[in-house]
Every structure is written in structure tokens, then in C-alpha cells.
A and B are shown apart, each in its own frame.
Chain A
């Protein structure tokens, strides 16, 4: 990618490349964030049996422009007792942290801002410093609700960082490198080549990583930092308008970044899993384009699962959050780490291949079965009856005459 600007003289090609990469990343994050905000409202609407935004245009899509205009035109104010400098700086700090993660996140074979040899480690390091903005916001607001939110966030992120790093180590041990581009390339081929199906430990590690990543993005059910039933709005109580929206842009950006890391480490990255070769090497720029489309849709799917979890599960209590991490996720990830080392050292190739095919095809069958059930399920139920898992459960309306 770096030689795109090679027609320019020596220092300027690098500068032009950096500027182009930065502009592309920022506009990508902004566009994705506004799409995700719209999608979040739609998803929450569906789950709560409502419609979500519908008034504006097709499916309420222009609603995201309306949201942006509303946030831009709101008055930007700070409370009297706030530490003004830190109060104004905090959202940008949070955003910078999640933006910098995109520097080393490959979107396709070699489609990356800067190919770091320690990209997996770098993304972890940068994303964990997003919490700094949140804590500063909580402190600088001069409000006790904000401070509680910030401190909770600190405790939560510091503890969830440990199992998250361990879950990243598991596919790294399988791959033997920290370079995300190389890890992606190693999973070229059909979907059973993905790290997810490498052995039972990576299979479990993906789910643990996903839950822990949800927690470290402070998404529900782990959104204690902004628990509105207890803390008004947590760390962003005193924020309004643009600064508030920058916090949420940072949140959606870091959701996308951890989902991208998850799909690179476990789910084959930019490979669709349906072609036995690397698309970009066979088809050139068309292949690169397809790779980016596959990666973005895979990652967006994971983000949608995060939204699905958020609107399905109730919020945990703070002690439950800490207990889930320290008593369950931490020991589980330690066992997984040891297990994957033992598997790599002692398990013969035949068993490994057998496990690959078995787990991959069972998963594929499950997914297809689920999609089939979803598509063939009746859209409406007779009066008084419940759909899906609640079929046959007695309701007050069931025996009454319609």
C-alpha cells in the first residue's frame, strides 16, 4: 500500500500516504458510527416490539443525518465547578485511543495503515487507554455521578484487560506471530481453516474474548459506567452536543475495532471461507475490494451481535461484573491458555484435522438450521399464543374466547 504515492519525492510520499490513511480512517469511523447509531435504534426497536425510526425517508435512514445535525447544533456547555480544560479534553482522548487502533487493523490483505509486527499487542494497548478519557470525564465534570461512573469504569476495564489479553494470546500461540496481517493470511481457504475451528480451546476462547471485549467497550450488560438507573447517565452526565457524540463515536469505533480483532484472530479475517485461495492474489484490485467488503460485513455482524446482547440482557450489578471477570473469565482463560499450549505440543495432526472438520461442519449445520428455522417460522401467531421458545406456554388470553 505504501508505494501508492511513489510518484512523489522521498519524504512527501510518506506524508501523503499518512494523510490519506488518516482521512480514510476518520471518515470510515464517522460513517460507521452514524450507521451503527441508526442500526442500534432499529435493532432495539425490533427487540422491544417497536419500529424504531420510521418518519424520515426509506427505513428512517436519513435519521442519522438528523441525529448528527441535532448533536452539532446543541449548546456546548460545561458546569461551573468543572475543571474546564480536562472536561473539554476528555472526549478527544477517548476518541484518539480508539482511532489509533485502526492504524494497525488490516481490512484486507495488506490493506492496513501501518503493518506492525506487534499489531495484536498494539491494538490491545491502545484500546485499553480509551478508559483514560472516560475517567477524566468523570473526574473533570465535578459531579459525583460522573465520578462514580468513571471509577467503576476504571475498576471494570483494569480487570477485564487481563482475560482479554489472555484470550488474544490463544490464537497468537496457534499462529506464532503477533502480526495481524500474517494471522489473517494463515487462515486462507475454506472456513474450516479459521482459527476458531483449530482446536476446542480456540473455539471456547472466541466466545470468552467476545464477552470480555463487550465488557471492555462498556456495552450492556456491562455498562455500569453509564447505568442510568443508578448514576443518572454516569460519566457523560454533564456532556451535551458534540462532545457527548464524540464519546459515542469512540464507543462505536472501539466496538468495531475489537470486533475486527476478533474476526481477524478467530474468524478468518477478510476471507469469506468459501474460496480456497487468496482473492487479492488472484484477482488483483477486485479481490482487494471483495476482501474489504467481507471483512467489514463480518465485523459489522459481530457489532450487531453486541447490540443484540445489549437489548436482550439486563444490566449486571457492579459486584456481579467484577465477580464474573475475576472468578470465572480469568481462570477459564488461564485454563484455555495452558490447554492450547498442550494441544500445540502433543496432539497429532490427524486428530487436529478431524476436529477441524467436525467442529466446522457442526457449526455450519447449526447456523444453517437456525437460519432455516428463522425463515420458515410463522410471522404472526394466533391470538393468545406465544412464538418461538415460549410456544405452548399458557397465557391469560389462551383460553378466553377471541
Chain B
């Protein structure tokens, strides 16, 4: 058994454990913390595959994102300290059906993933250079669409968060 397999097993089981903990913890901040560990684990998988740029991007985007999630979890939802989530039985039912359907789908796809490709690709993963050139040449349109989309989201967020002005002129 090679080192890669051992490392993959360790990281994947850590990801699975923390993903389960996200679902099963009742405290909103704790489940955000477990989500953080899951996302860090996924970025470790990228590093293990040699995709350094994607791994670092995963860290900067999702770890930062989870941090904001925690801040909002504390500030906006918690009426008292350490809020607990209560789940009704019908929510368990709907979520369970959806989750098991997704699980079956993922398992059936992942068993067909390696078909037809017996050996791993010989060339290493492209670094940030080829990725950037690709964004600005072959994939320019999708890249621009996503950029404009993000810009719209940013402006919308700034609009929602701005200080409201009353017709009377006084600032809120």
C-alpha cells in the first residue's frame, strides 16, 4: 500500500467524520466549525492530487466564507447564547429522502468514474499560469459572465447593507 493511499484514507475518513458531525451537531457554531474542517480536508485532497492552486483557492475562499458564516450565525440567529437547532420529524423525512437519493447518485457515478482510463495522466496538473491563460483566452466568456455575476452580487450586498436614508433627510 503506497503512502498516497494511506494519506487518502486518513484524509477521506476525517472528511467523512466531520461532514457527519456538521449534520449531527445541534449547535450552529459547532456545525460551522465542523464544516470548516470538512472544507480544509477537501483542500488537503486537492493538495494530495497535486492541484496546488485549487487547494489554496479552496482554503482562501471557503475558509474565509465559513468564517463569515460563523460571524453571521452568532450575530443574526442567536437570540440567546449558544443556540440549539431543533428539527421536526417531517424535516428529518424530507432531508433523509433527498440525502439518500443524492448518495445513491454519487455512489453509482463514482463507480463508473475510472472506466476506460487505466493509467493516470502522465503530465502534471497545470499550474496557475496555464489556468490564467485559459481564463483569458479559451474560457473568456464564462469567466466574464461569472465576474459580472459576482459584481452584481457585491453591489446588491452593498445596497442591502447601506445606511438607510429617510425622506426627511436624517440618517438612520
Contact = CB atoms under 8 A, between A and B. Distances in A.
Chain B interface extent, by class: 20 to 34
A135 B3 contact: no
Contacts, number: 77
Contact of A158 (B33, B68, B127, B128): B68
B59 interface: yes
A307 B30 CA distance: 36
B71 to A, nearest CB: 5
A367 B57 CA distance: 39
Given A121-B60, A139-B29, A131 B52 contact: no
A3 to B, nearest CB: 16
Nearest to A154: B71
A151 B3 contact: no
B36 interface: yes
Interface string A115-159: 011100110111011011001100110100001000100100010
Contact of A154 (B33, B56, B67, B81): B67
A335 interface: no
Interface string A362-384: 00000000000000000000000
Contacts of A122: 52, 56, 59
A128 B81 contact: no
Nearest to A124: B60
Contacts of A158: 64, 67-68
Contact of B59 (A15, A117, A126, A139): A126
A257 B75 CA distance: 31
Given A86-B30, A129-B64, A81 B81 contact: yes
A385 interface: no
B11 interface: no
Contacts of A89: 33
A158 B75 CA distance: 16
Contacts of B82: 83, 142
Contacts of A147: 74
B59 A125 contact: yes
A117 B63 contact: no
A11 interface: yes
A180 to B, nearest CB: 13
Nearest to A139: B74
With a 10 A CB-CB cut-off, give which of B33, B57, B68, B127 has the most chain A CB atoms: B33
B2 interface: yes
B67 A131 contact: yes
A58 interface: no
A270 to B, nearest CB: 22
Contacts of A132: 36, 63, 66-67, 70
A118 B29 contact: no
Interface string B49-63: 000110011011001
With a 10 A CB-CB cut-off, give which of B2, B29, B68 has the most chain A CB atoms: B29
B13 interface: no
A178 B55 CA distance: 14
Nearest to A100: B59
A118 B128 contact: yes
B56 A136 contact: no
Contacts of A139: 29, 70, 74
A390 interface: no
Contacts of B9: none
A15 B3 contact: yes
Contacts of A251: none
A339 to B, nearest CB: 20
B27 interface: yes
B82 to A, nearest CB: 6
19 contacts: A81-B81, A83-B82, A85-B30, A117-B127, A117-B128, A118-B52, A118-B56, A128-B60, A129-B64, A131-B67, A132-B36, A132-B70, A135-B67, A142-B81, A142-B82, A147-B74, A158-B64, A158-B68, A178-B128
User: Shortest 5 CB-CB distances between A and B: which pairs?
Assistant: A125-B60, A125-B59, A11-B3, A129-B63, A122-B56
Interface of B: 2-3, 27, 29-30, 33, 36, 52-53, 56-57, 59-60, 63-64, 66-68, 70-71, 74-75, 81-82, 127-128
